[in-house]
Amino acid sequence: MRPRDLATLFLLAALWGGSFPFIRVAAPAFGPVVMAAARVALAALVLWLGMRALGQRPGIRAHARALLVLGALNAAVPFALVAAAELRLTASLAAMLNATVPLWGVWFGARWLGERMTARRAGGVLLGVAGVGVLVGWSPVALTGEVLLSVAAMLVATCCYALGGVWTRRRLAGVPAPTLALGQQLGATACLALPALWQLPEARPTLPATLALLALAVTSTAFAYVLFFRLIASVGPTRTTTVTYLIPLFGTAWGALFLGEPVTPGMAAGLACILGSVLLVNDVRVGALVPRRWRRATPPAPAPATAPGACAAR
């Protein structure tokens, strides 16, 4: 991975990690559904203006139904659920729970995409489940019924993200990245428009909440998706998914720096279990995350002497 691509990867993780503090500020003022609807509508507008400026055609009509479903799975439902969860959870805890997306992905991949469920991956899923338990049980948030429902909402949201990936691979393979990005936001806007109008009178926007919403829509949604699809085109989807390992770290850091949220040893232990499980289910070796130019070149070890006719151990 070139230094430029590596910098883009970290910037993307920082933007998506920053979405959790933005949501934590904006959701109580606007309400989860209104905030999610405004987020996707503003992001769609920014993406459309960008495509117009570059002279690109959206090409939405040919894939309208599939993009509507993608908008529901990958934006409308999870965005609203995450916003609802952050009414009770800290931004740091929500960012950590968001790291469970690949665990759902490996389950759905084995069920619907024909991917193998190896012992390594099964062990990773179990470790991830244990990590969620440690993370929630040792978090600084009191375990009330509302908090447990919020945790469940986060897990359903990550499930939706994984389903969105499966839907994209099965129904939208080959569709240009800008069309996917814009179509997803338009589909989500269509799904959230009526519920948002119904709840709009209850919104009580403040200046900090409005600024957080604008930053969420422009940087953590529209601009972040441009970086995401550009990175896929540059380094491929496999390396791009390593952003999953970085988002919780940035989300936790932003929550601690700007919102003063505590980070306990229990939260760190739970996050370590979840990230370790993500490495297992994706069959990622830690060394593969380090750029080749940063690795030390080691000479190959000499082959051991063997007796005539004997086979060297593998």
In a domain, 307, yes or no: no
Closest to 183 measured CA to CA, from 76, 55, 53: 76
Please give the angle made by the CA atoms of 80, 158 and 288, to the nearest 5 degrees. 140
Residue 303 domain-assigned (yes or no): no
Would 305 be classed as within a structural domain? no
Q: Is residue 291 part of a domain?
A: no
Alpha helix segments (H runs only) across 3-76: 3-30, 32-53, 64-71
Token pair recorded at residue 39: 């987020």
CA nearest neighbour of 187 among 31, 16, 44, 34 = 44
Q: Give me the phi and psi of 160, to 5 degrees please.
A: -65, -40
Rg (CA), the chain: 21
In tens, the pLDDT along 151-183 reads: 999 999 999 988 888 888 888 888 888 898 999
Range of the domain at 64: 3-286
Q: Is residue 293 part of a domain?
A: no
The verdict on residue 159 lying in a domain is yes
pLDDT digits (tens, 9 = 90+) for 54-100: 888 888 999 999 999 999 999 999 999 999 999 999 999 999 898 88
Report if residue 87 sits inside a domain: yes
Q: Is 314 contained in some domain?
A: no
pLDDT at 34: 98
Q: What is the pLDDT of residues 233-282, one digit of tens each?
A: 777 665 676 677 788 889 989 999 999 998 888 888 988 988 888 778 76
User: Which pLDDT does position 112 carry in this prediction?
Assistant: 77
- Count of structural domains within the chain: 1
Give the pTM: 0.83
